[in-house]
Structure 1
Amino acid sequence: MNPLETSLRQEGRRRVAGNTLAFLKNHAPFDKMGAEALQVFADKAQLAFHPAGSEIVGPAAGNVRFFYLIESGKVQARQAGEVTVTEYSILSLGAGESFPIGAVTAGRPSTNTYTAVEDTFCYQLPAEDFLRLMASSPEFNLFCTQYIASLLDQSRRQLQLQFAQRASEQQTLNSPLAGIGSRSPVSVAPETPLRAALEKMSQAGVGSLVIAGEDRQPVGVFTRSDLLDRVVLADLPHDVPISQAMSANPFKLEEHATAYDAMLAMATHGIRHVLVTDAEGKLTGVVSERDLFALQRVGLRQIRQSIEGAHNVEALQHAAADVRQLAFNMLAQGVGAEQLTQFISALNDALTRRVIQLNLDKHNFEGIDWAWLAFGSEGRDEQTFSTDQDNGIVFACPDTDAVDALRQRFLAYALDVNKDLDRCGFPLCKGNIMASNPQWCLTLDEWRDQFSNWIRVPQPEALLNATIFFDFRPLFGKIELAESMRRHLLAQTSSNPMFLRAMAHNALDVEPPLGKIRDFLTDLEPDQPGKIDLKKYGSRIFVDVARIYALATGVHNTNSVQRLRLASKRLSIRDEEINAILEGLDFIQLLRLQHQYLEGEPGTQGDNLINPDTLNELDRRILKESFRQARKLQTRLKLDYQVN
């Protein structure tokens, strides 16, 4: 090549680079990027021509090798296969728009097929240069991060649409009775002795009993009001058959009748229960007045009033069901996971306080300073639909000789509270982390000593206890006692970096289930092949790191999101970095809430096990990104505490 040809080629490259820079400065995010970063893009990107009708990139091409920026023309993005990837099936892209950001960031094949619908020129930046540019340019990195955030918004809208549809189906008086109320009504035969029938009602925890023959044809109903009028006041012997105390000829509707029909019948006949039968007249369910109330938009005000005005546990049981229904309504309205879990916790707090107050009628602690403590997820304001009890008591007793006697009084009281909470839908803790356990009903000095021992000797059991008991909040009583516990805890941990390092080591035992070949590792639960525990391998990672940073920086808050936000300021973590981390936590929590509500049977505790193969492609993509944020948070923790 002669000198003239060389000079012309160099001049051509300079003109192309100049044209590229001029183009970039007219489009986001390049218009905000520094000159050095722009020059890198101009030097590394190649302008390629794609004739109309040609495929630029698609799933069959394997891992995406280029980041594409449209210089001129038009590109159509079409979903590949039948799986919903985004809220659109076809999307048109024009000059200044780029693709496929998620795929090139993740180093995987594109989930969309991108086709030139007219003659098109695209800048092609190699994937390795794209990743270097993300690392070197904060503006470009933020653009890509916001892209992931936009995907999160799309997923939330999908969840909202899904729940709104389900809510609409559930919350209409036109709904058939086949899907309302109890589908497993408690029933006995007409000849059943009255005592046996009452025992069955008590064991099942129900307020009504259906009397039906062997052919499942209902012949009567027995309710709590019947117990007073027809048994107690009538002095009816307990060995007579239940048929002598029942209300005969109960009102019945077939399964295809609507909730409106049942409501009209209750208003017309002054009854509170309607029996549901199939076409042959056989019992299939019972619909109560409460079931019809639950169909309506349950409001926060009504629930709070029902909780605060409850005179017994039965009323609180209904309120607990209303809390779940209202939380579901909020999911349908697109409320975020952070707000929703705090909302659930707030109403559960109110319900717990009412149980505590009701039981004080039987136990007198006047003149004694004490407080009821919540631990674990309740202590963090992070309760989901599936939650058991984690609680304790702290009390003050100046007379050391009287401590044990006072503790026994508190234990008896706590046992009553724990049992009533269990009846309200908060199962007894399998690990016995409850106030009725003498280990967790302690004086203020005993709690301080317990904390100090765990911190001084961070053995595995001590570290496990720290993950539970260091997330505490007072729910009732002398709040100052809990505040004193908090001050002592923060003073102890801030002066013991070895304990924090041990906690960091413990927090790194569980890693996000990201595969090197497959997207996810789904063989971590031997008893649940193909499933991932979103709590153990997801939200717990964020929670554990948040706790460590809060203890290290003196953050008093117990909520994980608040801990991360406040600690990040004191640790000088960039806002965009912590926001991406919190978005990852938020999405995992949303998936947990969705799964627990949709998959859990009414009246049971849903689990946290999801099969990623059942997620649509958008949610799979965001879940993978959320796990990456968890891994990123762990990497920072590993560096900060020099954990190998």
Structure 2
Amino acid sequence: MNVEQQEITEFFQKHAPLNTLNEAQLQLVLGNLEISYFKAGSPILNFDEPSNYWFVIRSGAVEVFRRDGQLYNRLCEGGYFGEFGLLRGKKVRFPAKALEDTLCYMIPAPVFTSLFEQCEAFADYVEIEDHTRLKQAVSRSHQNNVLFTANIDQLLTAAPLCLPATTSVQDAALQMGQGSHTALLVQDESNALIGIVTDQDFRDRVVAKGLPYSTPLGQIMTPSPQTVKHNQLVFEAMMLMLRHNMQHLPVLKNGEALGVVSQSDLVKYQSRNSLFLVNSIFNAGSVEELAALKKDVQDAFVRMVQEDANSRMVGSAMAAIGRSFKQKLLELAVQQFGQPPVPCCFLALGSMAREEQLIVTDQDNALVLADTYKAELHGEYFEKLANFVCDGLNACGYDYCTGKIMASNPQWRMPLAAWKQTFTDWIENPSPEGLLNSNVFFDLDGVWGETAFANQLNQLIRSKGASSYRFLSSMARNALLRTPPLGFFKDFVMETDGSQTKTINMKRRGTAPLADLIRVHALSVGSLSRNSFARLADIEKAGILVKGQVANIRDSMELISMVRIRHQALSVDAGKAPDNNVDPKQLSDFERKNLKDAFQILSDAQTFLKFRYQSSRGQ
């Protein structure tokens, strides 16, 4: 076996279903394999032309389309396509083109057919995947979803390459090549993880800068990298990589490095669109390029729903995408206006901070400035930066907030000390306006800049909120203003005004009041969590609700959220403007019954909230 075949064999061993082949089948592939290069934007497969090859992506990215031209899938390294035509009449059914400069291994149709007929594992993998993609509707319950049941260590296939910081980049590169590693971990004398170096770091930080090959790893590594524990869920790792736009993530067990998962590992377990979309956002060079991704955001949302992702998965992924837009716009703003004259932190508020964002959303954000801020010296800069970001978000599909809770509003650009005083006043002297603002601002997340400012504000909310019974009582009363849409006989009460009569606003009458009451309980127990499901876990741990009530609220939140999410996805898929208004007549009898049960749980939870935080009670 020559060097090239050895390299191809090692690649096959990393990717299913090629890693299911025995030696004879592998040799059959190697003896007939063709390799082709496709320039970015060039067609690879055209609809209805003869289907002669099965394609495996060695490097680059490929877009696959339906026959009507709508985007169907995006694939990266290790992805494959072309099986539909080979299995159905030898005609191309799904056209494909190169999204980036792409190198493909091409396996001739007779070889593919032979593998399909002789290798059961190969056939099962391809056939099941084919069926799933064509139907786009495989029913998977929360318990059966691999993202929520598989631990991240199940994705590890090899021990990590661990080297001391003093290792030269040349020696490190040689060892990475010998073991086919795309990343290595840097350890100190006690074998503790202190950094990570990827193949991209060698290109960007060594070759591009002309550093000598004797340069130690300590000078080019990313220090203190994000990590996951071996028993964390695949879902948690995926969200971490989406949030930080990471390509590699170290996995630890008892503080020791167990392995490294890559984005290509995770891409097999989740909608490829979300991961590709975040990359596309950070690769954009202008607001116009970012705005052009609006359709991709909708496609990613619809695809997740079609793949039976649950509400937490959808909300987290959409929030990660929205956060990425903000971060990229802030990068572009700095390129245009220069570095901030004083430290600052851009805040995401509301559903994005709670990681419960959907496709129908506006922008809620604010700007925290260092206490050294002087309006006469620095005001013009931050006004330009805030306007640039808010205008950019609007162009990207995140509508201006009708209540003007945006950093472009001077009211929501102030120094850290002023924010602390404002929050303290809302808690110690609750007013109608302050309570409304608390519902938005008390779900906050620092997405750019000095995120320690956001941490300080969250700590203040936690400490003062939990100790102020008057504030909690006021927040509880405020949380009761939006009631579930149930009549005396548990019939649905429809909207009666506006253009959406005979519908139910699933946000205003469902998810919003649930999020409100969960927030009150979370504040009372000092929870630092922002996501409603995470807050429910803290509430359950505190034991303030009767047994079984947390589980009921959790199920109610999930069901109402999914009815809302599916309604929006169906609207997008049908080319309609998505909204939150659902016509119960469009639901099945089963869905209507369960929805009524979910709203009843919300009603009962509001009754308990009213009792627990009565204003007449003492602390």
Q: Aligning the two structures, in what range does the TM-score lie when normalised by the shorter sequence?
A: 0.5 to 0.7
Partner SS for 1:362: helix
Aligned to 2:521: 549
Task: Evaluate the alpha carbon distance shift between residue 609 and residue 441 of structure 1 in structure 2; reply closer, same or farther with a 3 A threshold.
Answer: same
Unaligned segments of structure 2, at least 5 residues: 1-62, 73-90, 100-135, 137-270
Decide whether aligned partners of structure 1 residues 347 and 412 sit closer, same or farther in structure 2, where only a CA change above 3 A counts: same
| Matches of 1:603 and 1:359, distance apart in 2 | 33
How high is the TM-score relative to the length of structure 2? Answer: 0.55
What is the letter of the counterpart of residue 425 of structure 2? N
Report the Cα offset of residue 403 of structure 1: 3.6
Give distance in 2, aligned partners of 1:348 and 1:397. Answer: 28
In 2 relative to 1, CA 298–533 (structure 1 residues): closer, same or farther, beyond 3 Å? same
Higher mean alpha-carbon deviation, 516-525 vs 478-487, is at 516-525
Distance 1:599 1:569, change over 3 A: same
Which residue identity does 2:290 align to in structure 1?
Answer: L
Paired position in structure 2 for 1:243: none
The answer for the alignment partner of 1:175 in structure 2 is 67
> How high is the TM-score relative to the length of structure 1?
0.53
1:466 Cα shift?
0.8
Indicate the residue corresponding to 2:489 in structure 1: 517
Residue 84 (structure 2) aligns with? none
Q: Decide which of 373, 377, 395 is 1:405's aligned counterpart.
A: 377
Could you tell me which residue of structure 1 aligns to residue 311 of structure 2? 337
Report if aligned partners of 1:306, 1:315 keep a CA contact under 8 Å in 2: no
Whether contact under 8 Å (1:583, 1:626) holds in the other structure is: yes
CA distance 1:406–1:604, shift in 2 (3 Å): farther
CA shift digits 1:570-622 (9 cap, x unpaired): 13435633122111111111111111222258888521111112211011011
Say if 2:495 and 2:505, in contact at 8 Å, map to a contact too.
no
- Which residue of the partner structure matches residue 350 of structure 1? 324
Shift of 1:387: 0.8
Selected match of 2:280 from 284, 288, 306: 306
How many pairs does the alignment contain?
A: 368
- 1:599 is matched with 571
**CA distance in structure 2 between the aligned counterparts of 1:379 and 1:604, rounded to whole angstroms:** 27
1:361 aligned to 315, 335, 339, which one? 335
Structure 2 counterpart SS, 1:392 = strand
Alignment of 1:526-605 (within 5 A): 527-573=499-545, 576-600=548-572
| CA–CA separation in structure 2 for the residues paired with 1:413 and 1:553 | 37
Deviations 1:192-240 (A, max 9, x none): xxxxxxxxxxxxxxxxxxxxxxxxxxxxxxxxxxxxxxxxxxxxxxxxx
SS of the equivalent of 2:336 reads: coil
Aligned mate of 1:375, from 345, 349, 366? 349
SS of the residue corresponding to residue 361 of structure 1 reads helix
1:424-461 Cα shifts (integer Å, max 9, x gaps) = 11111121111011000110011111112222221211
Match of 1:396 in 2: 370
Which residue of 2 is the match for residue 614 of structure 1? 586
Letter matched to residue 499 of structure 1: F
Name the amino acid aligned to 1:377.
S
Query: How far apart in 1 are the matches of 2:560 and 2:94?
Result: 41
Give the deviation of 1:491 after TM superposition.
2.3
Per-residue CA deviation, residues 34-72 of structure 1 (Å, 9 max, x unaligned), is xxxxxxxxxxxxxxxxxxxxxxxxxxxxxxxxxxxxxxx
Contact 1:546 1:563 in 2 (8 A): yes
Give the alignment's Cα RMSD to 1 decimal. Answer: 3.1
Equivalence for 2:462: 490
Q: Please report how far the alpha carbon of residue 319 of structure 1 lies from its aligned counterpart in structure 2 after TM superposition.
A: 3.4
Partners of 1:358 and 1:440 in 2: CA distance: 21
Which residue of 415, 418, 424 maps to 1:443? 415
Q: Is this contact kept in 2: 1:596–1:608, CA < 8 A?
A: yes
Aligned match of 1:21: none
Structure 2 CA distance for partners of 1:443 and 1:173, relative to 1, 3 Å:
closer
C-alpha contact 2:301 2:569 (8 A) present in aligned 1: no
Partner of 1:91: none
How far did residue 323 of structure 1 move?
A: 2.9
Residue of structure 2 in register with 1:632 after alignment: 604
Return the offset for 1:494: 2.3
Give runs of aligned pairs for residues 128-143 of structure 1, distance below 5 A. Answer: none
Q: Does the 8 Å contact 2:571/2:577 carry over to 1?
A: no
Give 1:329 deviation, angstroms: 1.5
- DSSP-derived class of the 2:367 partner: strand
Distance, in Å, in 2 between the alignment partners of 1:426 and 1:614 is 28
Aligned equivalent of 2:266: none
Shift of 1:263: 6.9
Paired position in structure 1 for 2:453: 481
Q: How does 1:173-322 map to 2 (within 5 A)?
A: 173=65, 175-176=67-68, 298-322=272-296
Distance change (3 Å), C-alpha of 1:396 and 1:571: same
Q: Secondary structure, in 3 states, of the residue corresponding to 1:515?
A: coil
Match of 2:204 in 1: none
Distance 1:594 1:530 in 2: 19
Instruction: Report 1:16-95 matches (<5 A).
Output: none
Paired with 1:364 and 1:552, the residues of 2 have a C-alpha distance of: 42
Q: Does 1:424 align with 2:316?
A: no
- Structure 1 residue 535 displacement after superposition: 0.7
Q: Distance in 2 between matches of 1:317 and 1:584?
A: 35
CA distance change for structure 1 residues 332 and 538 in 2, over 3 Å: closer, same or farther? same
1:155-199 C-alpha deviation (Å, 9 max, x unpaired)? xxxxxxxxxxxxxxxx9855346x899xxxxxxxxxxxxxxxxxx
2:322, 2:577 → 1: CA distance? 15
- Closer, same or farther in 2 for the Cα pair 1:180/1:307, shift >3 Å? closer
Shift, 1:488, TM fit: 1.7
Cα deviation, 1:250-295, whole Å, max 9, x if unaligned, reads xxxxxxxx9979879x9xxxxxxxxxxxxxxxxxxxxxxxxxxxx9
CA distance in structure 2 between the partners assigned to 1:172 and 1:353 by the alignment? 29
Please show how residues 498-517 of structure 1 align to structure 2 within 5 Å. 498-517=470-489
Structure with the greater alpha carbon radius of gyration? 1
Residue identity in the other structure for 2:459: R
Partner of 2:125: none
Q: Output the CA distance in 1 between the equivalents of 2:366 and 2:345.
A: 9
| Partners of 1:438 and 1:624 in 2: CA distance | 43
Whether the aligned pair in 1 keeps the contact of 2:323 and 2:447 (CA below 8 Å) is yes
Distance across 1 between alignment mates of 2:367 and 2:330 = 12
Q: Distance in 2 between matches of 1:591 and 1:259?
A: 36
1:330 Cα deviation from its structure 2 partner: 1.6
8 Å contact from structure 1 (residues 344, 384) kept in 2: yes
Residues 299 and 513 of structure 1, relative CA distance in 2, 3 Å threshold: closer
* Letter in structure 2 aligned against 1:442: M
| Distance across 1 between alignment mates of 2:427 and 2:94 | 63
SS at match of 1:543: helix
| 1:499–1:174 Cα change, 3 Å | closer
Tell me the distance in 2 between the aligned counterparts of 1:505 and 1:173: 51
Asked whether the equivalents of residues 67 and 95 of structure 2 are also in contact (C-alpha less than 8 Å), the reply is no
Residue deviations 1:312-341, cap 9 Å, x none?
A: 123323434323212221211111011111
Encode CA deviations 1:488-513: one digit per residue, 9 max, x unaligned: 22222223211110111111122111
Structure 2 residue identity aligned to 1:473 = D
Give deviations 1:73-114, integer Å, cap 9, x for gaps.
xxxxxxxxxxxxxxxxxxxxxxxxxxxxxxxxxxxxxxxxxx
TM-aligned CA distance change 1:516 to 1:423, over 3 Å: same
Correspondence for 1:269 = none
1:544 to 1:424, Cα distance in 2 relative to 1, 3 A: same
Counterpart of 2:330, as a letter, is I
Paired with 1:572 and 1:301, the residues of 2 have a C-alpha distance of 39
- With over 3 angstroms needed to count, the CA separation of the structure-2 counterparts of 1:526 and 1:299, relative to structure 1, is closer
Q: What percent of counterpart residues are identical? A: 29
